[in-house]
Structure 1
């Protein structure tokens, strides 16, 4: 319409210009053509749009064609055609060039979305500006705001002229407040109440102040979705004739309130009289009929019908029939209120995979990703194999997103290419920690872990650290695909010097070096078993004399030099089972991760003990986009000795005890401070010295005890927690996979099953203000609650936790803030 108006205006202007020149006869033979007013457009380019050449006879009809052709080039704003003798003069005014595009005041629409809309109208920087489309753009943006309930919104396009025929284009937005839903009425419902029907609606009204998940702002698309939800509610309960007769959306005079009315006809319930399968089922009729959820005599359910269609399609997709057509034809009998369902199945052609391609992997080699793909090239296409391949790649810690699509081959109706589109994320981490405590003082540590070394998918870790409590050097290597069948192979070499008194545990020093290897076998896509063997050489010195540790030291102590270091070696065999169904390797929102391990030292070792640990995490998404999820976690552990030395039962070495407290166990408590404490027993003052110098021990019941400020740890552990994962404020949705915020409750305890409380309960406690607890009592749990923010930074995962101890025991060291780099939980 607007284009035609411009043409007419141009024709009128041209006719007026030609009036004096053409007089009674406007036809003439063109001897020359002159174009005036060109600035940016080259003369040669302009002439290509002029359908007239020298020697042509020009009349009114051809002038009209000339003007239309020039306007179609989109370069010109005004065109005038004149005659000077037999010379054709064309005067043009070029459209101004867009120098800059500015968006101002837009909150609900991102700049990128606006630019895409403008690109669709050929409005972009460097292009000529067609002012005729600005009004339609303004109206289109207004319609968008109206669809989300902002009826007071206004959009103004401002064009500012600049030198050299350039302009700045500014889109000024006044969004205003969105109209809230004041009421939703359903008219015609007799079988179900408004409350039942509105329960699953996304649009809500009159919600409680704390219900921040509800959507009270009117949105047209959301209403359409809610109407479909209402239809499904009835159709899934057998009301086959249900219908939404009409919908009224009324607005308050102030344009700040919306009133919605839905007029419905419920109808009556229908039952299934018969289910018939027709078409080519490729010989799988018997199996499909047995597993069909549709049963004669039951109420009709649209959800069951849809599920049946999808199930048959997916089942046939396992055998290469990737594009089957499954259609359900209902035959409704209104007299007896029954419906016969006929499922027509057309499997189509068997589809084969020509090629599998990977896009978006700038670091990871294609062959690494291909190792996780169970769909093979040259074989028939299997949707289940593609989903399995996608899930396997998604669980890689260096993959943020994985999607796939099948692309048909032109001219080939039985072949496709599979395109995996991946988005990588940092695969390495700079492990660092900083802490400060009354005993530990300032501590720093650093290390490097690379899960995708040089894009090969191999894991290499180098850890060199010197902190107040430990000096450590460790080199680890794992090849997750040592063989094409997915058998993994890894090894570790490590050396450490440890000072327990600076680690919030009892006083002792240790030196340890170890070398070990592991081999893992995949059972299926989710389950894996791993076996390992590790040799260790350990030296303990600077012992603290505690009741719980003396029993272990006595096995190796030299009677002539009881303070001398002790040393022992061990060969430890281990076996572990893991099951992982997480949707992502880092920051998962759905699925589970479980791991159970058992390790035991061989009988020829200097110490004989075993340890078993079970660790599980379960994620339950609360919303469809999975930005809200619940995490439940559990960690259990137990260890003890087996066999005996010199008639004494062996026990778990105290340096192998479990500890708790800190970022990955019990937030809100200082690292490793939760659990049993060391007990010092003294009989000084209870003994008697005879005249000959003989010392006669006193009554043991008069001994005194003192509790250490530091933890000893225990041979049993139970930790758990619940976290509500929420969207991180002020973080864009496309960055949600790298930043996570959660509110948590942690609970747990570490205890010693070998501790005899009665042996010490009656003794005088010389520790001021410290209570002797029953360290064998597993019910002495601790708990905390707080807020945690995790960020996958370029240096690795960073964790900030703000927490408060809810239940603590005497001697615990509660901490409000903890900060870690290199660990996630």
Structure 2
């Protein structure tokens, strides 16, 4: 850009200098008073633009200096390719020749980039329809296009610019691009490594020589920024294993003559491995030396680990921050003894000064209201700076799920040594989803389905959802809304209203189950991680008699009638310590809930307890464990309602079996179809890894799993020998429409009559 600017400047300066020389040598005039100024040659430019730019006015004294200054000023407008000034009887005649105007900019052959994106990029450098034509800017645009293609490893790309004159002193610009095929990395060599194999070190890189998924990850396309990141990963790997003097000597990038293959060679010097001999703490530790010593993660007698040093330094600064010291400094120093290959680590600390927060600013929330973000803060304005509360505040805002990025910045207040301002910056993301579907069959007719959910309705932080299905077999109308701050103390309120009609068989005279009800629930936070839920609902279920009515439904209707009511009270508790809700790698989720019907014809109690644990096996592989137990029972001398049964089978329980198809022992003995059970137990284990060839992208993962689970009737015990089991593999993808999971399973233990479904698909939660 600088070179192009200099060329443009020199060209204009040269024209002005020639004009000045011409005036001085051939047309030098005696100074005179200007009587009038006329402009000739204008086509599109306004005369007022000329008069405003001229450094001379009517009545001024005109001289050769004024003439030179006038020409420079007019050329500086960038509107003219030629400017002359004539003098006649005290009248200045400004004669200009305008530059052509760009009539249209077109692109051809651009498959890698959208044309509208390219036009916006050219607009930023001054090229657009209606702008004056400037050859220097055109050259600059051509080079910029080539640079963009090089950034995408398309080194063989060529750009040919065509300027076509059209009427009224205009031109059309056409950029014809021959993109060619992108160059791909054919070889990555690491030279000089001894302690670790070349394959191990190459496994640290995002760049690779390609795989079956490279079309998606583009990991085989060279980019300098990616290489620098990979070299930093390589350096960190060695520093975390005691190689303090490791260095990358050089990198060579070789491109084949046909510009299709790239070879990378990285030369390294490992140096010796050093073991930590001693850790010293030096500085002011606020008389809390014991607390700081407990934060030291550096292990004496083990190889020096830069990650442990970084973790310790951060722990120190965070702990200082808890006492208001926002600008503490921790400086690790090493003293190397090459004779013994040992290193002494000294952590020099300076807490600096204690400060308090003057103001908290919120930025980037174009849609979400300020109060939705501010109410999550635990750090208050005009209070001492507290690092732990600030971290909690940032994490709480992030857990809202409304933002792609949440960052917290601390800045000093000018003129004040003990005050800081906090700025939380967010990048909003879409929080709503709409689903629309239709189906048609000879038996069911036309069925429409519609779903809408908005987690941050109108930027208020409230959620709103609607679900509609007009199918003759499963008609659904559901409305739900949640206000997470029903009270200022953070008590949430959720309301659900629903009507569901289920007709298991297409026969027009078959039986049908109709359910109508609603509920209201409240969530009371008891800590930063624990919430207790309680609520009240009303539920009416009607069995519409017809053909194929199961005996258990008929028996229930004989005792309680075809229409029955329940008024359930609900209570629950939940704790979530995962590092991510969508792609967890560590942490756990514990949930318990209970439902007790206290009024109506139906008297029952049912409860569920679930536990999930995520454990990092390696830096890429995560183990996930899940256990769930659900139990339901009638209260008093009542009869447990069959439509409150639990179901098992399929995704979320035991994969490889049709969804909700597992039968109890008594159902199998009597040859009945699955109608659920009053008890359910479920176990799942998974190993998740980034998709091979997908680099370190955790949104696209493969997993292997093993499932076991069973369903039991009211008079049956939890017999492990009655459990089904399966194993298999699958793919997990955080897609734009939500978490997507595809599983292929092989049943290990099954019973006669079980309905097998090996390939299953789900958009929803983890297990």
Query: Structure 2 CA distance, aligned partners of 1:48 and 1:402?
Result: 48
* Greater Cα radius of gyration, structure 1 or 2: 1
| Contiguous gaps of at least 5 residues in structure 1 | 559-563, 681-704, 728-732, 758-773
Match of 1:767 in 2: none
Distance 1:619 1:507, change over 3 A: farther
The correspondence for 2:646, drawn from 658, 673, 681, is 658
Pairwise CA distance, 1:518:
3.0
Q: Determine if contact 1:599/1:611 at 8 Å carries over to the other structure.
A: yes
1:718 matched residue in structure 2? 682
Corresponding residue number in structure 2 for 1:522: 525
Deviation, 1:291, is: 0.7
Q: Is the 8 A contact 1:676 1:713 kept in 2?
A: yes
Closer, same or farther: CA 64–370 of 1 in aligned 2, 3 Å: same
Contact 2:328 2:349 in 1 (8 A): no
Are the aligned partners of 1:754 and 1:776 in contact in 2 as well (CA < 8 Å)? no
Q: Distance in 2 between matches of 1:474 and 1:197?
A: 54
Alignment of 1:441-452 (within 5 A): 451-452=455-456
- For 2:198, the equivalent position in structure 1 comes to 194
Distance 2:540 2:576 in 1: 34
Give the C-alpha shift of residue 319 in structure 1: 4.1
Tell me what 1:249 maps to.
253
Q: Secondary structure at the match of 2:646?
A: coil
Cα distance, 1:182 vs structure 2: 3.3
Separation of aligned partners in 2, 1:528 and 1:480: 12
**Mapped partners of 1:145, 1:442: distance in 2:** 49
Over 3 Å counting, the alpha-carbon distance change for 1:128 and 1:640 in structure 2 is same
Residue from 671, 682, 686 that aligns with 1:707: 671
Q: Secondary structure at the match of 1:204?
A: coil
CA distance in 1, matches of 2:720, 2:277: 67
Residue 740 of structure 2 corresponds to residue 777 of structure 1: no
Alpha-carbon shift at residue 347 of structure 1 (Å):
3.5
Over residues 650-699 of structure 1, what are the superposed CA-to-partner deviations in whole Å (9 max), with x where a residue is unaligned?
A: 7743222223567877888766444359969xxxxxxxxxxxxxxxxxxx
**What whole-Å deviation, never above 9, does each CA across 1:693-750 have from its counterpart, x for those lacking one?**
xxxxxxxxxxxx9735x432223253758698999xxxxx9xx99xx99999896655
Shift of residue 328, structure 1, vs aligned partner: 3.0
Q: 1:79 to 1:417 in 2, by over 3 A?
A: farther
Aligned mates of 1:723, 1:163 — CA distance in 2: 69
Distance in 1 separating the partners of 2:177 and 2:534: 64
The correspondence of residues 596-615 of structure 1 with structure 2, limited to 5 A, is 596-599=591-594, 601=596, 609-615=604-610
1:28–1:373 distance in 2 versus 1, CA, 3 Å: same
- 1:39 is matched with 43
Confirm whether residue 531 of structure 1 aligns to residue 537 of structure 2: no
**Partner of 1:575 in structure 2?**
571
Correspondence for 2:313: 309
TM-score (norm 1): 0.73
In the aligned structure 1, how far is the partner of 2:112 from the partner of 2:283? 50
SS in 2 for 1:312: helix
Structure scoring higher RCO (CA < 8 A, sep ≥ 6) equals 1
Report the Cα offset of residue 326 of structure 1.
3.4
RMSD (Å) for aligned C-alpha atoms: 5.2
Q: Deviations over 1:776-800 (max 9, x none)?
A: 82126698968999664xxxx8x99
Report the CA distance shift for 1:722/1:253 in structure 2 as closer, same or farther (over 3 A). same
Relative to structure 1, the CA distance from residue 422 to residue 594 in structure 2 (aligned partners, 3 Å threshold; closer, same or farther) is: same
2:656, 2:726 within 8 Å by CA — same for their partners in 1? no
Q: What is the distance in 1 between the residues matched to 2:119 and 2:415?
A: 38
Q: Distance in 1 between matches of 2:194 and 2:316?
A: 36
| C-alpha displacement of 1:234 | 2.5
Cα distance in 2, alignment partners of residues 640 and 389 from structure 1: 40
Alignment of 1:194-593 (within 5 A): 194-205=198-209, 209=212, 215-337=219-341, 338-345=343-350, 347=352, 350-357=355-362, 359-362=364-367, 364-382=368-386, 384-396=388-400, 399-406=402-409, 408=411, 411=414, 413=416, 414-427=419-432, 451-452=455-456, 455-459=459-463, 468=472, 478-490=482-494, 516-534=519-537, 542=545, 549=552, 553=555, 557=558, 565=561, 572-580=568-576
- Residues in 1 aligned to 2:474 and 2:219: alpha-carbon distance in whole angstroms: 53
Q: How has the CA–CA distance of structure 1 residues 299 and 113 changed in structure 2, closer, same or farther, with 3 Å as cutoff?
A: farther
Change (3 A) 1:216 1:308: same
* Cα drift, residue 200 of structure 1: 1.0
Matched-pair contact (CA < 8 Å) for 2:707–2:725? no
1:642–1:651 contact (8 Å) kept in structure 2: yes
Alignment-derived partner of residue 589 in structure 2:
594
**In the superposition, relative to structure 1, how do residues 8 and 30 fare at CA in structure 2: closer, same or farther (>3 Å)?**
farther
Secondary structure, aligned partner of 2:722: coil
Say if 1:441 and 1:614 are closer, same or farther in 2 by CA, change over 3 A: farther
Partner of 2:711: 751
Is contact 1:328-1:342 (8 Å) kept? yes
> Where does residue 56 of structure 1 map in the other structure?
61
1:31–1:86 CA contact under 8 A, matched in 2? yes
Q: Which residue of 2 aligns with 1:641?
A: 633
Query: Residues 746-768 of structure 1, C-alpha deviation per residue, up to 9 Å, x if partnerless?
Result: 966553255789xxxxxxxxxxx
Unaligned runs of 5+ in 2: 1-5, 692-696
Change in 2 beyond 3 A, CA 1:618/1:342: closer
Q: 1:365 to 1:664 in 2, by over 3 A?
A: farther
SS, match of residue 596 in structure 1: strand
Residues 77, 261 of structure 1: alpha-carbon distance in 2 compared, 3 angstrom cutoff: same
Aligned pair partner of 1:70 in 64, 67, 74: 74
Q: CA deviation at 1:287?
A: 2.0
Aligned to 1:215, what secondary structure does the other structure show?
coil
Structure 1 residues 200 and 125 mapped into 2: Cα distance closer, same or farther (>3 Å)? same
3-state SS, counterpart of residue 531 of structure 1: strand
- Give the number of aligned pairs: 746
Q: Would the aligned equivalents of 1:548 and 1:678 in 2 still touch at CA under 8 Å?
A: no
Q: Is residue 270–residue 339 contact of structure 1 (8 Å, CA) maintained in 2?
A: no
Q: CA deviation at 1:423?
A: 2.0
Alignment match, 2:3: none
Cα distance in 1, alignment partners of residues 686 and 116 from structure 2: 38
Distance 1:147 1:601, change over 3 A: closer
Shift of 1:108: 4.8
Q: Report the Cα distance in structure 1 between the residues aligned to 2:247 and 2:271, rounded to whole angstroms.
A: 8
Checking the alignment, whether the CA contact within 8 Å between 2:403 and 2:426 is kept in structure 1 is no
> Contact 1:404 / 1:420 at 8 angstroms: preserved in 2?
yes
> Aligned partners of 1:546, 1:756: CA distance in 2, in Å?
24
Q: 1:180 aligns with which of 180, 184, 189?
A: 184
8 Å CA contact 1:409–1:415 kept in 2: the answer is: yes
1:450 is displaced (CA, Å) by: 5.8
